[in-house]
Structures are given as structure tokens and as C-alpha cells.
Structure 1
Amino acid sequence: MGDVELDFIPLSHLTLPGKHSDDGWLTMFPKKLQTPLSRLPGAANPSVVGWGIIVNEVFNWTHFVLLALIAVVLIGIVVAVYWGISSDASSAFGLGAFLVAVCTLSISLNYSYWQDSLQ
């Protein structure tokens, strides 16, 4: 698709609350009324004139880091409570290490599922 020209039209204002938050903006998109858009394969064929919508899905690193921070804080609280109840620092830190490993594996698995869903 090297012959298709892409324009950048920022539409971030559509994510803000307001009059456009219902489906009324769908009627504003242009529609192809007669023949469908098509392009025959090969470099000799001319470019297709039309429009389209591109959705670029990216990983939200802010939420990822926030999730990791919340998990570490919760694990710290659990370890502190366990240490206070059992008075055994060694087993409390062992529990903390195990919980961090489980948390790391679950976040990695979720990231892997997200990567697979993009393909």
C-alpha cells in the first residue's frame, strides 16, 4: 500500500465528553454511494481515490507502570502484615518474592496476549 496517501487528522477531541459523544458523528463520515472502492493488484494500476479510517492501537505504558506500582505496594502491605503476624522475617520475604514472581508472570502473560491479539 505504498501508493496510498495518508493524511494525519487529529481527532483526539472526540474522546472528550460533550455533544459528539453519541453516535451522531457517524453521519458526518463520507460514504461511497455507487461502486465500492477497489484496486487491482500490480504496480501499473492507478491509485484508488477514497477515504478510510486507520486505528493505531498502542500499548499504554502509563497504565502498565501504574499496575506494576500498585502490585508492588500491595505485595509490600501483604508482606508487612504477614511479618507482623508471624514474627518471621525470612518467611515474610520468601512470601514477598513468590508474590512478585507471580505478579511479574501474570503481567507478562497479559502483555503477551495483547501482542497476539494485534496480529
Structure 2
Amino acid sequence: MIVASFGKETFQLLPLLQDCIAHYNSHQFAAALVVGWSVSEAILARRWRRYCEAASAAKGGPTAIKKDRPKKLNGRDFTASVMVEALSPAGQLSDVHRERLDTVRQARNSSSVASAVLLVDATS
């Protein structure tokens, strides 16, 4: 019952979430940020896929999503930033969540965080 409500994909993220918490508790904040962002990005991608599926005309939505379009909408070129910016005006993501995701993404992308993670990995 719980797996059905949260989905198997969500439970597969639990080990990553545990790693995030362990890094945080060990004061390895940069590593916690990177791992935590990975969890957030996976959840965001799943939400995006569900939104695209619901928007499909085949399922009663307003647009035709067929042939190669699903690959384009879910491909590597379709970044978390783009997903956030598209989900927000569609009412699928609150402004508060959009702002928080942007803040975390920007921190994750900063060179100081990347350098800190490399240093943590090198010393582990």
C-alpha cells in the first residue's frame, strides 16, 4: 500500500537520501548538497514526466506528444532548470518551491561547492 502511494522510484531514492543525511551529520555539507540535489532532481524529473504524460492529447490533454517528442522532453538537454521554469507557470510547482530549487541548484553549480566535493572525494 505504501509503495503504491509513493511509487517504487521514490523508495529507490532512500539510500541516496540516507547518504545525504550522513554527509550532513558528518559536516560534509558540500557532499550533502550534491547528493541531496540528485534526490531532488530525480523527484523533479518524475514529476515532469507525469506532467508531460497528462498533457498528452492521447490522455485528454491539450497537446500531441508522439513520435520523438517524448525523447526530446525527457532528454539530457531538458535540464532541471527548464523543468522548474515550465512546471511553475503550469501550476505544478509553487513559487516558493521554484525559488528554493533555484537557490539549491545555483549553490550546487557553484565552483566552490564543486571544489569542496572534489576535495572530500580525494580525502575519502
Instruction: Calculate the TM-score normalised by the size of structure 2.
Output: 0.33
> RCO higher in 1 or 2 (8 Å CA, sep ≥ 6)?
2
TM-score normalised by structure 1 residue count: 0.35
- Higher-helix-fraction structure: 2
